[in-house]
Structure 1
Amino acid sequence: MDAFYASVEQRDDPALRGKPVAVGGSSGRGVVAAASYEARRFGIRSAMPSATARRRCPGLIFVKPRFDAYRAVSNQIRAIFADYTPHVEPLSLDEAYLDVTEDLRGIGSATAIAVEIRARIRAETGLTASAGVSYNKFLAKLASDQNKPDGLCVVTPRQGPAFVAGLPVKRFHGVGPVTAAKMARLGIETGADLRACSLEFLQRNFGSSGPYYHDLARAICHRQVRADRERKSIGAEDTFMNDLKTEADLVAELDRIAATVWSRIAERSISGRTVTLKVKFQDFRIVTRARSLPAAVPDREQFLAIGVSLLRGLLPMEKGVRLLGLTLSGLEAPDAAPPQLGLPI
């Protein structure tokens, strides 16, 4: 979807249309969750501090997020997907992979399916979507960003290697900022640069990721679309208006965050064994601590107790805390079958 949260807000409030809009907190330590394309012309991007965004665009309009509205639209869009293929792998509320090999409507062309889906999204939600069509997930993802907003990009098997060669490696899935910076130091800026590197060179410099990067440079990707992709964790975090130092203040905030996380856990009827605490200090240093139980965390009280125990292991705090987060991982459905023991043949 194109600027999804901001586009929903502009759709629902005509007064916002054509204006620079940011969804997120407008004061203190708020951050931009999404920016309209009018705002992006000023260099405003998601995760940018709200204060920075306001300096770049004094006329920026901040809107509080309405996640219930975004989820409702997301469900509409996923229902459209289901008319074309059962193989849908959601990445977030506004993005998904579709494997259309099982062509439920007998359309016979992935590109024609993408055209029809985009038209239905516009007709049924009033919003625009961009699509990438290709023969693997890596290329489809790159293509989906190529002609935004409201665009379609098709990369055929014949075009794949040349398409990759002309792109900066920092756009590749699996190449984060740290890896991109390391590649730049090694003279690797584009897909063509990456393709010129031998497998031995990439393994020497990037370890087990070397073969993966070697494949990407040749437009090769073996990742499958997984409609049953399991969620690995559920969590929440919050950034505070003022740095916190005292145990009482930190525990009070952790209690509130734990309640949020546990409501999401209960909503999904799942359980988990590992609790992870995240602490970001005023100097932006991040520390995480985790504890795993032999069985699932039984309730919110125990979830919070483990979080508090992990927090107390970091006390006293020499520097103020600007962010706290709690996550539950090692997830499984409550009725999941016990693991089977392997038997020798």
Structure 2
Amino acid sequence: MSSDEPRAAILHADLDAFYASVEQRDDARLRNRPVVVGGGVVLAASYEAKRRGVKTAMSGRQARMLCPDVVVVPPRFDAYVEASKRVFEIFRATTPQVQGVSIDEAFLDVAGLHRIDVPPVDIAARLRAQVRDQVGLPISVGVARTPFLAKVASGAAKPDGLLLVPPDGEDAFLHPLPLQKLWGVGEVTATRLQAYGLRTAGDVAALPDSVLVGILGPAAGRHLFAVVHGRTPERVVTDRRRGSIGAQRAIGRGPHRPEFVEAALLGLVDRVCRRMRAAHRTARTVVLRLRFDDFGRATRSHSFRHATATGADVAAAARGLLDAAAPLIRERGITLVGVALTNLESDDMVQAQLDLDGPDTTGLDAAVDALSARFGSGTVRRASLLRSGEGLAVPLLEE
């Protein structure tokens, strides 16, 4: 292949049923059995459970109806974070060009290794073997010319598979796929397209972009036209620092007491503030995320005049946003609460603010962070969380 010809040198590596796989790895009694992580809401399902119809975000009751012999285990986030760190070490030992997408997946650009290493598909096979041998987890990898195609290929390779999409075979791979298999095409968009008799990527590719713009609007129509014709960006983004740090908690259908929702939110605040300080960042904006009983969503945000890493500041802002959203919550019910810190900055040049209204909590934050680092994140908890016992906290890694 000449240097001018396109190469399939982007890998998308995605751990299979990550949380459930960690549980099956660590407990031999769970292997080859249908496993669900979570109780009220399914956070992850093993492939044995998925084959019975169990899906992520499904209620625990639905999961048991579909799969009466399912084994439900509580989440162990420290174990998942540790496994993720070990896998990402393998990614970065493979190539410096790594773009983390979430706790269990990443893009790797191996184009620069073509003179010193084996072909990309062989690099992918080696990476899969290393993750299985060194971390004990199954991982699926897609290899293609663009991140989009690599992502779709890894999905098609699941579970525990490897799929190469050569540049001259992109249309043959992409066009027969159902629209729902295209990364970024959600249920609403797919349903709208299906109303026009469009079922596959090939159906959409046969249309001019003007028709798609008429159906979906300018931005979505042009984007989907680019997607089905392989015109998505080709580079992996590795030079952008994380733009936000967030976590969310599924609390199931209510009604829920306001004090419980507030306690859940403050627990998330503690989690994201610890992660922010560990990354030596500060935040200018706090974002509240809500999901309602009718599956609708809403976000509210508050920006500080000066960036902060203090838990008390973030907690006060989050409480204010939740109070302002209380009428909406009472009207529509709530099933999930989340918080994110955005507009992140380095903590190298933090100007401490004089607190004239109360004590400085910086030392408290540092002490709690130190205890969590030494003894685990669950060592110190807010007293308001000790009786909650509802819902499940889900860490998010965002760009």
- After TM superposition, the score normalised by the length of structure 2 is 0.77
Identity of aligned residues (%): 39
The answer for the alignment partner of 2:19 in structure 1 is: 5
The answer for the alignment partner of 1:19 in structure 2 is: 33
Q: Which of the numbers 276, 279, 287 marks the counterpart of 1:276?
A: 287
CA contact (8 A) 1:21 1:60 kept: yes
CA contact (8 A) 1:273 1:295 kept: yes
3-state SS of 1:244 partner: coil
Tell me: CA distance 1:172–1:281, structure 2 relative to 1, closer, same or farther (3 Å): closer
- After TM superposition, the score normalised by the length of structure 1 is 0.88
CA distance in 1, matches of 2:137, 2:309: 42
Q: Tell me how far 1:245 sits from its aligned partner.
A: 4.5
Offset from partner CA, 1:144-196 (integer Å, 9 cap, x none): 12122221111111100121111112111221222112221233221111111
Q: Which of the numbers 313, 319, 326 marks the counterpart of 1:308?
A: 319
CA distance in 2, matches of 1:127, 1:214: 36
CA distance in 1, matches of 2:264, 2:18: 30
CA contact (8 A) 2:276 2:309 kept: no
3-state SS of 1:32 partner: coil
The answer for the alignment partner of 2:255 in structure 1 is: 243
Asked if residue 110 in structure 1 is aligned to residue 102 in structure 2, the reply is no
CA contact (8 A) 2:281 2:309 kept: no
CA contact (8 A) 1:271 1:334 kept: yes
Q: Tell me how far 1:250 sits from its aligned partner.
A: 4.3
CA distance in 2, matches of 1:114, 1:182: 36
CA distance in 1, matches of 2:322, 2:347: 28
Tell me: CA distance 1:12–1:105, structure 2 relative to 1, closer, same or farther (3 Å): farther
CA contact (8 A) 1:9 1:16 kept: yes
The answer for the alignment partner of 1:226 in structure 2 is: 237
Q: Tell me how far 1:22 sits from its aligned partner.
A: 0.8
Q: Tell me how far 1:220 sits from its aligned partner.
A: 2.3
3-state SS of 1:132 partner: strand
Aligned ranges for residues 1-345 of structure 1 at < 5 Å?
1-25=15-39, 30-103=40-113, 106-205=116-215, 206-240=217-251, 242-246=254-258, 248-297=259-308, 299-316=310-327, 317-318=330-331, 320-335=333-348
CA contact (8 A) 2:16 2:140 kept: yes
CA contact (8 A) 1:83 1:104 kept: no
Q: After alignment, is 204-213 or 164-173 more displaced? A: 204-213
3-state SS of 2:172 partner: helix
Letter in structure 1 aligned against 2:98: V
The answer for the alignment partner of 2:359 in structure 1 is: none
CA distance in 1, matches of 2:30, 2:184: 35
CA RMSD of aligned residues (A): 2.3
CA distance in 2, matches of 1:95, 1:194: 28
Residue segments in structure 2 that go unaligned for 5+ positions in a row: 1-14, 351-399
CA distance in 1, matches of 2:120, 2:265: 47
CA contact (8 A) 1:245 1:319 kept: no
3-state SS of 1:243 partner: coil
CA distance in 1, matches of 2:204, 2:63: 34
Tell me: CA distance 1:105–1:127, structure 2 relative to 1, closer, same or farther (3 Å): farther
Q: After alignment, is 105-114 or 45-54 more displaced? A: 105-114
Tell me: CA distance 1:251–1:32, structure 2 relative to 1, closer, same or farther (3 Å): closer
Structure scoring higher RCO (CA < 8 A, sep ≥ 6) equals: 2
Letter in structure 2 aligned against 1:244: H
CA distance in 1, matches of 2:94, 2:290: 43
Residue segments in structure 1 that go unaligned for 5+ positions in a row: 338-345
Tell me: CA distance 1:112–1:214, structure 2 relative to 1, closer, same or farther (3 Å): same
